[in-house]
């Protein structure tokens, strides 16, 4: 879907790779001799490969042989690979074996929460200060009026509420207003509607006296909830409605039996006040050396661009 909105000027390199005991997909694109993942970091927080079978190193060996044989490719620049990905170790090894230089760099953090079985246990796990502050903010919000929290999952409901959600995103501050271009807004709407149709999107709102004062778009993947974007009414900023909207989502996620609440890319302070712990995301940079040696054969099929 990202490709449909933002792929202009690049060539699609969706590689299907298979061999003895393994198979996988590499969702890549190429621009001016540089291969990267599909999706920019402004809209895609995590990147990776889809693999099955053993050993995983065989997949990356085959991928690098394919890229090495593509002599016009000078660099492979892969962003936003999270901790735990086999690519972080196996891909540099495969690249160096073919004479390429390879390095792995710290790119950013993506804080996340391991969710306990109950809200009380969640509160108990917070630091004393953060627990006190969260309870204080909740009491202050309740004194301000009637508080409600709603979650939308039906595709029609999600589509119908996107105008209000995007308005809250724009209102949050000048950076978010500048970020939300018409092109990105179309992408947000398309992704939310498509994933809602597959049961994987949630649009949540915090309400005060019947008005929606904060909202978030998140995705469900297995037992994880991933916070994609959020916004709030700055006129209610003194009530910490942005942070409290996430707290309500965390409580709802616990009640739904989810195990992880992922606040995704960025080390904003509020994430740590909610108890999140850093997960590192990495950049893998591979560069062809002039004296590198091409490898014979390939075990990939390259989709047409």
DSSP category for residue 291: T
> Which residue reads 């620049």 in tokens?
77
Question: Is 153 within 8 Å of 192 (Cβ atoms)?
Answer: no
CA dist 127 and 135 (Å) reads: 12
Which of 136, 135, 140, 111 is CA-nearest to residue 122? 135
Q: Where in the chain is the domain with CATH 3.40.630.30?
A: 112-278
Per-residue confidence of the chain (305 residues) as pLDDT tens digits? 888 888 888 999 999 998 888 899 999 999 999 999 999 999 999 999 998 877 788 999 999 999 999 999 999 999 999 999 999 999 999 999 999 999 999 999 999 999 999 999 999 999 999 999 999 999 999 999 999 999 999 999 999 999 999 999 999 999 999 999 999 999 999 999 999 999 999 999 999 999 999 999 999 999 999 999 999 999 999 999 999 999 999 999 999 999 999 999 999 999 999 999 999 999 999 999 886 554 444 444 444 33
Distance (Å) of CA 236 to CA 97, 164, 207: 57, 16, 11
2-109+281-302 maps to CATH 3.40.630: yes
CA dist 247 and 260 (Å) reads: 14
Question: Is 271 within 8 Å of 261 (Cβ atoms)?
Answer: no
- CATH fold, domain 112-278, is Aminopeptidase (3.40.630)
Q: Is 31 exposed, middle or buried (0-12, 13-18, 19+ CB in 10 A)?
A: exposed
Q: Write the DSSP string, 11-38.
A: EEEEEEEEETTEEEEEEEEEETTEEEES
């Amino acid at each position: 879907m990202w490709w449909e909105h933002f792929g202009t000027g690049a060539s699609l390199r969706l590689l299907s790779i298979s061999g003895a005991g393994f198979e996988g997909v590499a969702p890549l694109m190429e621009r001016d001799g540089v291969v990267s993942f599909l999706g920019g970091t402004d809209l895609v927080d995590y990147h990776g490969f889809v693999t099955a079978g053993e050993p995983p190193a065989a997949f990356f060996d085959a991928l690098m042989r394919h890229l090495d044989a593509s002599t016009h490719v000078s660099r492979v620049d892969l962003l936003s690979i999270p901790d735990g990905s086999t690519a972080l170790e196996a891909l540099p090894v495969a690249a160096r074996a073919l004479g390429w230089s390879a390095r792995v760099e710290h790119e950013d953090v993506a804080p996340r929460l391991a969710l306990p079985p109950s809200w009380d246990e969640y509160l108990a796990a917070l630091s004393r200060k953060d627990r006190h502050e969260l309870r204080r903010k909740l009491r202050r919000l309740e004194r301000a009026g009637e508080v409600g929290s709603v979650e939308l999952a039906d595709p029609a409901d999600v589509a119908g509420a996107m105008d209000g959600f995007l308005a809250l995103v724009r209102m949050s501050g000048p950076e978010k207003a500048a970020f939300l271009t018409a092109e990105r807004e179309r992408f947000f709407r398309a992704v939310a509607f498509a994933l809602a149709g597959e049961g994987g999107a949630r649009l949540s709102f915090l309400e005060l006296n019947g008005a929606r004062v904060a909202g978030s778009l998140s995705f469900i993947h297995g037992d994880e909830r991933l916070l994609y974007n959020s916004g709030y009414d700055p006129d209610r900023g003194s009530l910490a409605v942005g942070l409290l909207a996430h707290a309500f989502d965390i409580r709802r996620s616990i009640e739904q039996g989810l195990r992880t609440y992922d606040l995704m890319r960025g080390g904003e302070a509020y994430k740590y006040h909610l108890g999140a712990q850093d997960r590192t995301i990495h950049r893998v940079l591979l560069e062809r050396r002039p004296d590198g040696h091409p490898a014979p054969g390939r075990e990939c099929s390259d989709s047409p661009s």
